[in-house]
C-alpha cells in the first residue's frame, strides 16, 4: 500500500466518524441497546411526555414514540402517584421518621417512649446488641470500663448519678445522634434495635 492510499483511507475514516456525530431531527445517533437507557416499563421518577420521542425507532402499536414514558391513567400522566392526603411516612420497619434535632436530649427524653416491652426475650436481644455495639467502651456491666473505654476515657458508668436516672427517650436519642464525645450509632442500629438496647441499658442503670 503506498502513501497516497493511506491518506485517502484516513480521510474516509475521519469523514465517517464526523458524520456519525451528526444529530438529525430526533435521531440521537446510534445507541447500543437503547432499552438500557430508555425504560420500557413506566419509570417512577422520570416522565417523558413527548409523544414523538424516539419515533424513528418505534414499532409500538399505539403509534407513539419508543421513548414516550407516561401513564395515561394518572392525573397529568404522571408515572408515580402522590401519596393520599395526610399520609405519614414511615421507615421500612414501621417507625416514624426521626426529626428530633441532635442537641434536643431533654425533648427526646420527654416525648419518646419505648414501643417494646421489657420482657426477658427483648432484654436478652438488647444485651446481644449491646455486646456488639457498646460493650467495648461501656463495658460488660456498663461501668465504662470496656477495653476501648479504658483508653478513650470519660465513659460514664450507667448506674451512678445523672446517668442512672436518664429517661429511655434520652438514651434512645444518645444512641441515635451521639452525645458529647460519643459518636452517633443511628446508621448502624435500626430504631427497633435501639429500643432493645435501651431495655438492656435500663437493666444496667438499675444495678447496684
Residue ranges binding ligand HEC (CB under 6 A): 133-134, 136-138, 148, 152, 154-156, 163, 166, 171, 174-175, 179-182, 185, 197, 201
Q: Between 66 and 168, name the residue whose CB sits nearer to ligand HEC.
A: 168
Q: Tell the smallest beta-carbon distance from residue 136 to ligand HEC (Å).
A: 6
Q: Between 57 and 203, name the residue whose CB sits nearer to ligand HEC.
A: 203
Q: Tell the smallest beta-carbon distance from residue 142 to ligand HEC (Å).
A: 9
Q: 70, 65, 57: which is closest to 31 by C-alpha?
A: 57
Q: Tell the smallest beta-carbon distance from residue 117 to ligand HEC (Å).
A: 19
From CA 171, how far away is CA 183, in angstroms rounded?
A: 13
Q: Tell the smallest beta-carbon distance from residue 97 to ligand HEC (Å).
A: 20
Encode 62-76: b = buried (16+ Cβ within 10 Å), e = exposed.
eebbbbbbbeeeeee
Q: Between 68 and 172, name the residue whose CB sits nearer to ligand HEC.
A: 172
* Residues sharing a CB contact under 8 Å with residue 168, sequence separation 6 or more, in sequence order: 109, 112, 113, 114, 198, 202
Please give the torsion angle defined by the CA atoms of residues 41, 43, 49 and 51, in that order, rounded to the nearest 10 degrees: -20
Q: Between 77 and 143, name the residue whose CB sits nearer to ligand HEC.
A: 143
Q: Between 50 and 145, name the residue whose CB sits nearer to ligand HEC.
A: 145
**Distances 10 to 4, 14, 19, 43 between C-alpha atoms, Å:** 10, 6, 14, 43
Q: Tell the smallest beta-carbon distance from residue 80 to ligand HEC (Å).
A: 37
Amino acid at each position: 500500500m503506498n502513501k497516497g492510499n493511506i491518506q485517502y483511507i484516513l480521510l474516509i475514516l475521519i469523514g465517517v466518524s464526523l458524520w456519525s456525530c451528526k444529530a438529525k431531527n430526533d435521531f440521537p445517533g446510534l445507541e447500543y441497546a437503547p432499552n438500557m437507557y430508555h425504560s420500557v416499563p413506566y419509570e417512577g421518577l422520570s416522565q417523558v411526555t413527548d409523544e414523538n420521542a424516539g419515533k424513528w425507532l418505534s414499532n409500538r402499536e399505539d403509534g407513539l414514540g419508543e421513548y414516550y414514558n407516561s401513564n395515561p391513567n394518572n392525573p397529568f400522566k404522571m408515572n408515580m402517584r402522590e401519596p393520599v392526603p395526610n399520609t405519614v411516612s414511615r421507615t421500612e420497619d414501621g417507625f416514624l421518621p426521626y426529626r428530633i434535632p441532635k442537641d434536643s436530649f431533654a425533648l427526646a427524653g420527654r416525648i419518646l417512649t419505648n414501643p417494646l416491652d421489657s420482657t426477658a426475650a427483648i432484654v436478652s436481644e438488647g444485651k446481644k446488641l449491646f455486646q456488639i455495639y457498646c460493650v467495648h467502651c461501656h463495658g460488660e456491666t456498663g461501668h465504662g470500663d470496656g477495653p476501648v473505654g479504658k483508653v478513650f476515657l470519660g465513659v460514664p458508668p450507667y448506674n451512678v448519678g445523672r446517668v442512672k436516672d436518664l429517661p429511655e427517650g434520652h438514651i434512645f436519642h444518645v444512641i441515635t445522634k451521639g452525645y458529647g464525645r460519643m459518636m452517633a450509632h443511628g446508621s448502624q442500629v435500626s430504631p427497633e434495635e435501639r429500643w432493645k438496647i435501651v431495655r438492656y441499658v435500663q437493666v444496667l442503670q438499675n444495678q447496684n
